[in-house]
Structure formats: C-alpha cells, structure tokens
Structure 1
Amino acid sequence: MITELRAELQTGRLVLKKMSTADSASLFSIWSDPEVARYMNITSFTDESQAVEMIELLDKLASENQAIRYSIIESKSGLIIGSCGYNMLDYDNARTEIGYDLGREYWGQGYAPEAINALTHYAFLTLGFNRIEAKVEPANLNSIKVLEKLHFTLEGTLRQCERSKGAFIDLCMYSKLATD
C-alpha cells in the first residue's frame, strides 16, 4: 500500500513543508556553511544554483514517491532553519531512512528532535512503516545525541559503506521500530 505523502507536517514550534525551489536562497545559506555540510554527503555549496539543483532532484524523487524532503520552518519567525525528510521509502519492506540538517544558529535548541519526532510519528502512524533508519558518521556526536535522545538503537557500524567527498566512510546504523 503506497500512501500519498503529506506536503506539510506540523509540530509545536515547526512546520515541515515539502521543499520547493522558492526555498533555495534560505537552504543555500544553510548548505553553504562548511560546519553544516561537514557530515552531509555534499561539499558546502558555493552558488545558489546548487541548492536549486538539489531541490529539483529531491522534487523528482518525491514525484516518484521514492523520497521526500521538507524545509523546516520555525513557526514563530516563518524562517527556514533546516531540512529533513525521508531519504528513501521502501514500501515493500515498510522501512525508510531519515536525514536532517539545521542552520548552525539553531543547533542545541531542540529543533532536530522535534522535527525527527514528526517524521517518526508520520512514518509509523500514517505510512504504516515498521522501521526507520538513520545513518550517521561516528564523529557526528551532536546527531548521535539526537538519535539517542529519541530512543533510536545503535545496531552497529557499517565499515567504509559509502563514498563521501572522495573517501570511503564508516557510518553508524541507528534504527527505531514501530514496536520500540
């Protein structure tokens, strides 16, 4: 059963809105920060056209129901403060992988757990998924803290499982099950 993905999710302080090219300037300012991009599988962007290309790629995946990425909007200010979403949707196996990033000035304020909670609840309760995965570099301690706070389970380290920025990297596999 494939469900039409919702274009918007809401939390107490955030609106998660399906990304559009109108968001490119805000997302470029986030994705061009080397500290934000440090653990992403991109090098920090140097031109807004790169953000437009990324959004168009993600939009194509969403139109094919393979993935969806949301801009994270702070409700109070209306500002885009990051992005999150499902990097892949595996309906046959009722599982997905999440990803997320925040502008540096919003780190440590509880926005990432709040956004991920919304993704988790939607995946389990609406999409009927059984498993949510998150892969994170071992050195990305802030992201690991977020996943542990949300009771994701560390399953192990996938050794040199992906190429990022020209090198093979290890990734820690975290998961959460509908029954957790």
Structure 2
Amino acid sequence: MEEHSRIAPGLTGRRLRLRAMRWEDADALLRCWSHPESAYWLGIRPLTSREDAEELIRLLLEMERGEESLRWSIELSGGEVIGSCGYNNWQLQGAFRGEVGCELSPAFRGRGYMREALALALCYGFEEMGLNRVEAQCHPANLRSGRLLASLGFRREGTLREYRHTPSGFQDVDLYALLRREWRDYITLEREGS
C-alpha cells in the first residue's frame, strides 16, 4: 500500500492545514472516531482499535484513488492531527455538486478549527473542483454542526426522513446546501469584515 494519498492537495489556513491522510494518523484519528458522540453523529459504531482506524484510513485512501471521495487530515501548526474533513462524494458532470463531511476530536471543539478547515475545503471545491453546490448532512439534534454550517453560509433545506441506516436504526438527517454564488458573497463579506 502507498504511504500517502495521490490526490489530496495540501491547503493551509491561519492556524491549521489540511493534508493528505497518512497511516501514522491512525492513533489521532482513532481518538476522534472512537468517541461515542462522534460515532453517533456519524451514524457508525465507535471504532475500538488502531486496526479499525487503519482500516478506515485504507478505505478512505482507496476511495480517493478511485476519485470517489477526498479526505484530509486536519493538522494544527505544531503537527498534531485533530480530525478530518473532506468530500464524501461529488458529481462534476451535469450536477457540479459535492457533499462535505467532517469530524473533530472532542478536546478541540468550540475553538473555530472546523470552521477554518471547512472554509479551506469549500474554497477548494468551488474554485478548483468547479462545484456549483456543496451539500452537508447532519443529525437534526446536532445543533453544533447546524450552527457551524450556518456560520459558513449554508442554508438548511429540510429533513430527509429515515435517510440513513445506523447501528441504532434508521435516522433522519437535515440537508444543508451552499451555492457557489452564495459562497462568493460570503467570502466578500468576510474579507470586508476583517
């Protein structure tokens, strides 16, 4: 197996960078993916071992090589990996649409890191991939994620009833979306505000 992804470009923000996922990220990502709250919002069983994390990294890298998804490790400026984010899927022909997903280790929540990481991913999606629409799904009770998405300009479009099958049964998800023209307006406002 390859050590690094072939596709995920490095993206640098003010306090963090998005970089290709690596095998050595397994322990850090396990801390994120094994947390019961993270697993619940993601609709998965909490991972329980480094081998579980390595298997998920292998799957994500395999999907990336097949251009089915694009996932970055979120790394602080000191080199610590605190989560991941990226495009779960996209469709460039005809729809020009993608779907983002993210998770952050609980110890780093509430500090604006995920907002910064998703802003980098959104810039890449709209400016480099040529997306016109980016969607995100979150559990209706995940108020923190809903606020995060709204802070980036996403609009809640509705609830997809029993949309996701999880270890605890069928689960509703709220669908959020952001259009390229809305992102341009958002970026303009952000720049004028700083």
Give the structure-2-normalised TM-score: 0.87
Q: How does 1:18-167 map to 2 (within 5 A)?
A: 18-75=20-77, 77-92=78-93, 93-167=95-169
Q: 2: CA distance between counterparts of 1:69 and 1:153?
A: 23
Q: 1: CA distance between counterparts of 2:73 and 2:140?
A: 25
Q: 2: CA distance between counterparts of 1:30 and 1:52?
A: 13
Q: 2: CA distance between counterparts of 1:10 and 1:173?
A: 28
The 8 Å contact of residues 8 and 71 in structure 2, kept in 1 or not, is answered as no
> Which aligned segments of 4 or more residues in structure 1 are displaced greater than 6 angstroms?
none
Q: 1: CA distance between counterparts of 2:113 and 2:180?
A: 22
Give the structure-1-normalised TM-score: 0.94
Structure 1 residue 7 displacement after superposition: 2.5
Number of residue pairs matched? 176
Q: Which runs of 5+ in 2 are unaligned?
A: 1-5, 183-194
Task: Write 1 or 2 for the structure with the bigger share of helix.
Answer: 2
Indicate the residue corresponding to 1:169 in structure 2: 171
Q: Which amino acid aligns with 2:82?
A: I
Q: 2: CA distance between counterparts of 1:161 and 1:6?
A: 29
Q: Which amino acid aligns with 2:74?
A: I
Q: Which runs of 5+ in 1 are unaligned?
A: none
Structure 1 residue 127 displacement after superposition: 0.8
Q: 1: CA distance between counterparts of 2:121 and 2:112?
A: 15
